[in-house]
């Protein structure tokens, strides 16, 4: 990140807005599902950042507190400063949030319909399968050593079978990492 | 529909009467302490601590969040906030889970370049991302154990994991097909 963020003109902000608003509406399955498409857009098509910068921003958004979708804010920041971060965040979350709100209202009207119960019972296990898939994908990237793999396993067991707060688990792991155990 | 009684559905009675202040406090906690992804802490706060949702309701809301386009946790925030307090509730929850962490992250990123290459930071990041992956796997296990899906649910859930996680097939093709299959299966089982 040697380059200072360029200050945003209205043109570049508008470009960020429409690029990410379009991505917002195809992000079925969440941000991780459209990461390749984001990469293609900002690195290959727009040349806003390099592939290495993309990886670095992604790692930073992963470990920082908050949703993984924040990687989009970081890209906006890199391209057009604080205004770029805000525009990118609103663009990537706004359209999908409005759609979600409207869909939920329609869904609520169906509350007495048996179809609703069927859809909900059908979706829940698929959703759990997708959560497993994203944990697995992240573990593949993160577990480069045996100690890291053990940390993944211990953290998973702690969350699955005890009532420990996840913040403590991450804090303990980070401390171990600082001490050199990775 | 054989089990209307023990299926609370997504009407989420626990969210009725939750105030904007309570929404903001819970959302800030999830947003600002959710290192390495927000889902594990969201389950912890909304299900265990606030008791606004059961594990089953949480899994169902996550299902809806994943089917609709947009970041899952952002959709979850919209659903929880608007269920409790309408559009203002959704904005309050989004502020806590998304906008405050984004502002913090921008500040953090500004300083990141100067510490990025130190061994301490690299070690903490490596260990944190390994544990973070574990938190998500653990949350998935917990949801699985607490919702106890029937055999057909285990089959569709396992298919989703294998297709997306292991085989890395394109989600936009796999998910609609899998959802159609799951709904058809559930529908034929309910007759």
Encoded tokens for A3? 């380059």
Tell me the C-alpha distance between B33 and A170, whole Å: 10
Distance from CA of B65 to the nearest CA of A (A): 8
Residues in A touching B144 (Cβ below 8 Å): 128
Q: Which of the listed ranges A99-103, A121-125, B104-108, B131-135 does the model predict with the highest average pLDDT?
A: A99-103
pLDDT category at A154 given cuts 50, 70, 90 is very high
Pick the more confident residue, A31 or A103: A103
Cβ separation B164–A29 shorter than 8 A: yes
Distance from CA of B160 to the nearest CA of A (A): 5
ipTM: 0.82
The reported pLDDT for the residue numbered B45 is 96
Which positions ≥6 away from A138 have C-beta within 8 Å? Answer: A62, B37, B129, B132, B133, B136
DSSP string for residues in A71-115 = HHHHHHHHHHHHHHHHHHHHHHHHHHHHHHHHHHHHHHHTTT-HH
Whether residue B88 is predicted with pLDDT greater than 90 in this model: the reply is yes
Residue B9 burial class via C-beta count within 10 angstroms: exposed 0-12, middle 13-18, buried 19 and up = middle
Question: What is the arithmetic mean of pLDDT over A75-87?
Answer: 94
Question: What is the arithmetic mean of pLDDT over B6-23?
Answer: 76
pLDDT category at B159 given cuts 50, 70, 90 is very high
Whether residue A1 is predicted with pLDDT greater than 60 in this model: the reply is no
Whether residue B7 is predicted with pLDDT greater than 50 in this model: the reply is no
Tell me the C-alpha distance between B115 and B122, whole Å: 9
As a whole number of Å, the CA-based R_g of chain A is 19
Question: What is the arithmetic mean of pLDDT over B115-131?
Answer: 80
Q: Give the 3-state secondary structure of residue A65.
A: strand
- Search chain A and give the residue with CA nearest B9: A117
Cβ separation A107–B10 shorter than 8 A: yes
In a mutational test of the A interface, the residue from B33, B71, B162 whose CB has the highest number of chain A CBs within 10 Å is: B71
The reported pLDDT for the residue numbered B9 is 44
Whether residue B171 is predicted with pLDDT greater than 80 in this model: the reply is no
Tell me the C-alpha distance between B191 and B186, whole Å: 9
Q: Which candidate, B89, B81, B76, places its Cα nearest to that of B41?
A: B76
Cβ separation B134–A152 shorter than 8 A: yes
Question: What is the arithmetic mean of pLDDT over A123-137?
Answer: 88
Tell me the C-alpha distance between A30 and A23, whole Å: 11
- Search chain B and give the residue with CA nearest A75: B106
Encoded tokens for A92? 């990537």
Whether residue B6 is predicted with pLDDT greater than 50 in this model: the reply is no
Cβ separation A131–B70 shorter than 8 A: no
Whether residue B135 is predicted with pLDDT greater than 80 in this model: the reply is yes
Distance from CA of A85 to the nearest CA of B (A): 8
- φ/ψ of residue B51, rounded to 5: 55, 35
Question: What is the arithmetic mean of pLDDT over A60-88?
Answer: 90
The reported pLDDT for the residue numbered A35 is 78
CA distances from A70 to A75, B11, B96, B98, B104 (A): 9, 29, 13, 8, 11
Cβ separation A149–B130 shorter than 8 A: yes
The reported pLDDT for the residue numbered A37 is 80
Tell me the C-alpha distance between A102 and A173, whole Å: 41
The reported pLDDT for the residue numbered A143 is 84
Whether residue A134 is predicted with pLDDT greater than 50 in this model: the reply is yes
The reported pLDDT for the residue numbered A3 is 46
Entry pTM: 0.81
Range of weakest confidence among A25-34, B37-46, B141-150, B164-173 = A25-34
Question: What is the arithmetic mean of pLDDT over B48-53?
Answer: 95
Is residue B34 within 8 Å of residue B42, measured between CB atoms?
Answer: yes
Residues in A touching B12 (Cβ below 8 Å): none
Average pLDDT for chain B: 87
DSSP state of A128: H
């Amino acid at each position: 990140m040697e380059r200072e963020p360029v200050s945003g003109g209205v043109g570049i902000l508008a470009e960020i807005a429409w690029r990410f608003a379009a991505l917002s509406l195809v992000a079925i399955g969440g941000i991780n599902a459209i990461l390749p498409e984001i990469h293609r857009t900002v690195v290959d098509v727009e040349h806003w950042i390099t592939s290495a910068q993309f990886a670095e921003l992604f790692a930073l958004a992963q470990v920082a507190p908050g949703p993984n979708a924040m990687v989009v804010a970081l890209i906006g920041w890199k391209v057009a400063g604080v205004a770029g971060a805000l525009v990118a965040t609103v663009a990537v979350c706004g359209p999908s949030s409005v759609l979600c709100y409207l869909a939920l209202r329609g869904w609520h009207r169906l509350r007495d319909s048996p179809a609703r119960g069927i859809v909900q019972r059908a979706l829940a296990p698929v959703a759990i399968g997708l959560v497993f898939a994203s944990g697995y994908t992240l573990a593949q990237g993160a577990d480069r050593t045996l100690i890291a793999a053990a940390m993944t396993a211990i953290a998973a067991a702690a969350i699955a079978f005890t009532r420990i707060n996840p913040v403590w688990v991450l804090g303990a792991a980070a401390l171990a990492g600082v001490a050199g155990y990775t | 529909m054989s089990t209307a009684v023990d299926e609370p559905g997504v009407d989420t009675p626990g969210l009725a009467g939750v105030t904007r202040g309570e929404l903001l406090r819970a959302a800030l906690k999830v947003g600002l302490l959710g290192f390495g992804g927000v889902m594990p802490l969201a389950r912890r706060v909304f299900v265990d601590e606030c008791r606004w949702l059961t594990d089953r309701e949480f899994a169902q809301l996550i299902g809806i969040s994943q089917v609709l386009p947009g970041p899952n946790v952002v959709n979850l925030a919209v659903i929880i906030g608007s269920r409790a307090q309408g559009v203002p509730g959704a904005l309050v929850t989004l502020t806590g889970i998304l906008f405050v962490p984004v502002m913090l992250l921008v500040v953090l990123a500004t300083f990141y370049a100067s510490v990025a290459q130190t061994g301490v930071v690299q070690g903490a990041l490596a260990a944190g991302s390994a544990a973070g992956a574990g938190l998500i796997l653990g949350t998935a296990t917990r949801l699985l154990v607490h919702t106890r899906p029937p055999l057909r649910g285990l089959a569709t859930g396992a298919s989703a994991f294998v297709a997306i996680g292991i085989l890395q097939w394109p989600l936009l093709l796999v998910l609609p097909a899998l959802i159609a299959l799951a709904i058809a299966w559930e529908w034929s089982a309910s007759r």
